């Protein structure tokens, strides 16, 4: 997959284009990508995904937690079969582009769009003035094909990034995973912590998520962790650690049957189930006893043999 960071750097004679933020890359987004790639194969043209960075809502001041980092998003787009990813810098000047200019100057002239695929709620152009009705009207006038993908539902609810953020905030990582088609993952490089885990008998690998990242509710989770030495089960405490206040938000991961040094290593922590919410303990001994119970519960769940199903969704 080729990656570009400015539409002005691209010159194509033909393409099938889809557009969107694709934060979370959930089942609805995956449907859009499947249809885009299928149409590109039918027409014999490259499939191009145009996404935006930063998220438009963050540019205009919204404190919007980001479910999928740019690197994760590009990896998922590649896996979905996209030929080209265009990560367009989203500036206030770019946001002021009129819808008609967006279609003519960007989609047609720069990207060589012959067919466009968008979700049912896609908006574009200055102040979001362009909607799916307008994009159908403008593309038809230019002889460009257009597919509008209907919402993908789970029961009565439309699968969306907003719903995923809501489930994460409630600690319901299982529903978030169901909507995404994969477990929610936090990736990061292991950094030094306060060293309390080791003194309590539970040495941890410590990650510090980006302040803009969407995170599950603070608490202790059953996790599966990808390390440079393989994949391991474990428990992870996400939060501000109220028993020992003063530190920043971190993810402390205790791996089962693992004793090697992971400092500086990249980890991918998959959240599978909330074991308990975060709370303050009166002393270190009380915390140690609770950690023992957390590990016991996690291993009991693993012994039931259904955790691999959770990983596969």
Separation of alpha carbons 260 and 45, rounded Å = 48
pLDDT at 311: 59
CB count within 10 Å of CB 102 equals 20
pLDDT at 190: 94
| Runs of H (alpha helix) within the chain | 27-43, 56-59, 70-79, 92-95, 99-101, 132-141, 161-169, 173-180, 196-199, 284-303, 307-312
Across the chain, what does the average pLDDT equal?
Answer: 90
What average pLDDT does range 50-67 have in this prediction?
Answer: 86
CB count within 10 Å of CB 83 equals 18
CB count within 10 Å of CB 134 equals 16
Separation of alpha carbons 204 and 259, rounded Å = 10
Angle in degrees, CA 217, 220, 223, rounded to 5: 100
Residue 164 has pLDDT above 90, yes or no: yes
Out of 68-72, 76-80, 124-128, 234-238, pick the least confident.
124-128
CB-count burial class (<10 Å; 0-12, 13-18, 19+) for 35: middle
Domains of the chain: 2-154 (3.40.50.620), 178-312 (2.40.30.30)
> Residue 189 in 3-state DSSP?
strand
Separation of alpha carbons 204 and 82, rounded Å = 38
Name residues whose C-beta falls within 8 Å of residue 86's C-beta, 6 or more positions apart in sequence: 3, 4, 5, 7, 10, 48, 49, 50, 51, 111
pLDDT confidence tier of residue 286, bands split at 50, 70 and 90: confident
Give residue-wise pLDDT tens across range 185-199. 999 999 876 555 554
Bond into 17 cis (ω within 30)? no
pTM: 0.91
CB count within 10 Å of CB 6 equals 11
pLDDT at 244: 64
> Residue 184 in 3-state DSSP?
strand
> Residue 144 in 3-state DSSP?
coil
Separation of alpha carbons 236 and 273, rounded Å = 10
Separation of alpha carbons 50 and 21, rounded Å = 8
pLDDT at 198: 54
Give residue-wise pLDDT tens across range 214-230. 999 999 999 999 999 99
Question: Which neighbouring-strand residues pair with 191?
Answer: 206
pLDDT at 193: 62
Instruction: Check if the beta carbon of residue 208 is closer than 8 Å to that of residue 249.
Output: yes
Q: What is the CA radius of gyration of the chain?
A: 22
CA-based nearest residue to 272, from 245, 249, 306? 306
Separation of alpha carbons 120 and 98, rounded Å = 20
């Amino acid at each position: 997959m080729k990656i570009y960071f400015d539409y002005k750097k691209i010159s194509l004679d033909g393409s099938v284009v889809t557009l969107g933020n694709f934060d979370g890359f959930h089942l609805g987004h995956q449907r859009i990508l499947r249809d885009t790639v299928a149409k590109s194969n039918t027409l014999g043209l490259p499939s191009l995904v145009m996404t935006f960075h930063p998220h438009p809502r963050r540019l205009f001041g919204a404190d919007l937690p980001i479910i999928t980092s740019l690197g994760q998003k590009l990896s998922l787009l590649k896996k979905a079969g996209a030929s080209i990813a265009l990560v367009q810098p989203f500036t206030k000047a770019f946001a002021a582009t009129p819808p008609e200019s967006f279609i003519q100057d960007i989609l047609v002239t720069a990207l060589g769009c012959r067919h466009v695929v968008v979700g049912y709620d896609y908006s574009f152009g200055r102040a979001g003035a362009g909607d799916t009705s307008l994009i159908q009207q403008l593309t038809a006038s230019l002889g460009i094909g257009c597919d509008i993908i209907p919402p993908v539902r789970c029961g009565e609810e439309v699968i969306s990034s907003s719903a995923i953020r809501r489930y994460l905030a409630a600690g319901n990582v299982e529903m978030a995973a169901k909507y995404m088609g994969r477990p929610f993952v936090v990736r990061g490089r292991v950094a030094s912590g306060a060293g309390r885990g080791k003194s309590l008998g539970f040495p941890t690998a410590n990650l510090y998520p980006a302040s803009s990242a969407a995170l599950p509710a603070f608490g202790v989770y059953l996790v599966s962790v990808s390390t440079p030495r393989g994949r391991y089960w474990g428990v992870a405490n996400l939060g501000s650690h109220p028993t020992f206040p003063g530190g920043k938000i971190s993810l402390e991961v205790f791996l089962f049957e693992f004793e090697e040094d992971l400092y500086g290593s990249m980890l991918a922590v998959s959240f599978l189930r909330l074991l308990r919410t975060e709370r303050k303990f009166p002393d270190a001994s009380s915390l140690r006893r609770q950690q023992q119970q957390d590990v016991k519960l996690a291993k009991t769940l693993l012994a039931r043999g259904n955790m691999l199903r959770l990983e596969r969704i």
